[in-house]
């Protein structure tokens, strides 16, 4: 078994890196000779630890299958000193693979006792924001602007490792070490992608609002500065996230709409006049000209400026308006828009 160490300095500790990669966390990634832990073995484990701005990437290389038990033992000794694990697709693959290989050697592993964050699974929660073609590590690296030297994937390197194991070819060794090193270093770099899922549940604070002829614009502040901006267009408006600010623009409709009163049982419908009146006023009127109002009839028609609401959003007790009773599209009057409604709309737009 060989142990290779490389240390480098991080120029800027971002929000996500500071939150998720502290001194009690270990990044890790494995390389193996196939996808089945029963038919394949682990030949390389790379892991990274952080101390302040300094990161050390350590690689445990098995020169052949007989040394697999050595790198597993060494990795176990390391992770016993840390409470948290970070990896990419690591709960479903890396962790499970290590558990199965430890069973083969009757090793007691502590890996399942650790708090384990899988960056892949966490990132997919932010699909509504990211819209990436896929959520592979190299795709995320490209989105965040990282260009790696390694051009291989794990599968392509299996015969390269096998060649190294048989011949001790040093060029083959460099290739497998470079791939694993850039995987580990790349994971550290793309920790920033976790800020996109975090912003979905972060605190949102109203900053300001302005109204013009056909648009309502407002600005929201968060504690999270995204590394790359996001632009999204919806049928009812759009938003831009830049650094720690969210700029929302909603389309305004001007015209006549209807709002439906929830307490329709407290109203009569006057047949000859096609209007509703409170029951207290209608009791004395001719019974032939009045009847209990239905939900559809119990409405108020109002002319004004309105904002189209996203489908499914809950605005509480705030009045909503429609073009007709059957219409599925709901509006809210511009005059009824308050800070809490703005926050609700913004949060809904981010998640849908």
Residue 287 pLDDT grade (very low, low, confident, very high; cuts 50, 70, 90):
confident
On the question of pLDDT at 154 being above 80, the answer is no
The 10s digit of each residue's pLDDT in 75-84 is 999 999 999 9
Give the whole-number percent of the chain exceeding pLDDT 70.
99
Average model confidence (pLDDT) across the chain: 92
Q: Shortest CA distance to 209 belongs to which of 47, 299, 343?
A: 343
The 10s digit of each residue's pLDDT in 294-336 is 999 999 999 999 999 888 888 888 999 999 999 989 999 999 9
pLDDT score of 34: 92
Q: Shortest CA distance to 259 belongs to which of 331, 334, 316, 344?
A: 331
On the question of pLDDT at 119 being above 90, the answer is yes
pLDDT score of 334: 94
pLDDT score of 148: 66
Mean pLDDT of 7-35: 93
pLDDT score of 152: 67
CATH architecture of 2-196: 2-Layer Sandwich (3.30)
Q: How far apart (Å, rounded) are the C-alpha atoms in residues 156 and 175? A: 11
On the question of pLDDT at 69 being above 80, the answer is yes
On the question of pLDDT at 43 being above 70, the answer is yes
Angle between helical axes of 158-167 and 170-189 (0-180°, round to 10): 140
The 10s digit of each residue's pLDDT in 236-277 is 889 999 999 999 999 999 999 999 998 989 999 998 888 898
Structure tokens at 60: 């445990």
The 10s digit of each residue's pLDDT in 334-343 is 999 999 999 9
Per domain, the residue ranges of the chain are: 2-196, 204-261+298-351
Q: How far apart (Å, rounded) are the C-alpha atoms in residues 297 and 328? A: 17
Strand partners of residue 249: 217, 238
3-state secondary structure of 135: coil
pLDDT score of 312: 81
CA torsion through residues 137, 138, 144, 150, sign: positive
| Pairing of β 84-87 and β 25-32 | parallel
Q: How far apart (Å, rounded) are the C-alpha atoms in residues 55 and 9? A: 6
Cβ atoms of residues 267 and 287 within 8 Å: no
Structure tokens at 54: 């300094």
Residue 217 pLDDT grade (very low, low, confident, very high; cuts 50, 70, 90):
very high
Strand partners of residue 58: 5, 47
Mean pLDDT of 201-221: 94
Q: Shortest CA distance to 47 belongs to which of 124, 106, 114?
A: 114
């Amino acid at each position: 078994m060989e142990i290779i160490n490389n240390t480098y300095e991080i120029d800027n500790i971002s929000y996500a890196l500071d939150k998720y990669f502290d001194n009690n966390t270990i990044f890790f990634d494995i390389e193996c000779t196939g996808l089945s832990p029963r038919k394949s073995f682990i030949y390389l484990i790379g892991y990274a630890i952080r101390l302040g701005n300094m990161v050390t990437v350590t690689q445990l290389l098995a020169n052949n299958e007989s040394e697999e038990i050595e790198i597993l033992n060494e990795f176990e000794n390391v992770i016993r000193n840390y409470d948290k694990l970070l990896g990419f697709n690591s709960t479903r693959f890396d962790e499970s693979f290590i558990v199965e290989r430890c069973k083969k050697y009757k090793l007691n592993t502590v890996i399942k006792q650790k708090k384990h964050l899988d960056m892949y699974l966490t990132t997919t929660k932010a699909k509504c924001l990211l819209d990436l073609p896929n959520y592979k590590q190299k795709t995320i690296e490209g989105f965040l602007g990282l260009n790696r030297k390694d051009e291989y994937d794990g599968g392509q390197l299996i015969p390269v490792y096998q060649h190294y194991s048989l011949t001790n070819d040093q060029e083959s060794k460099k290739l497998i070490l470079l791939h694993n090193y850039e995987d580990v270093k790349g994971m550290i770099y793309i920790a920033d992608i976790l800020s996109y899922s975090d912003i979905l549940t972060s605190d949102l604070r109203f900053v300001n609002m302005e109204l013009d002829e056909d648009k309502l614009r407002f600005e929201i502040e968060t504690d999270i500065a995204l590394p790359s901006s996001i632009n999204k267009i919806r049928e009812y408006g759009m938003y831009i996230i830049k650094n720690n600010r969210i700029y929302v623009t909603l389309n305004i409709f001007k015209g006549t709409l209807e709002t439906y009163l929830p307490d329709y049982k407290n109203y009569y419908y006057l047949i000859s006049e096609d209007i509703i009146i409170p029951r207290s006023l209608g009791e004395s009127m001719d019974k032939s000209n009045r009847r209990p109002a239905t939900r559809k009839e119990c409405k108020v028609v109002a002319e004004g400026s309105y904002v189209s609401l996203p489908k499914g959003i809950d605005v509480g007790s705030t009045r909503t308006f429609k073009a007709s009773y059957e219409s599925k599209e709901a509006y809210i009057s511009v005059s009824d828009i308050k800070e809490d409604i703005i926050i609700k709309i913004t949060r809904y737009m981010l998640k849908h």
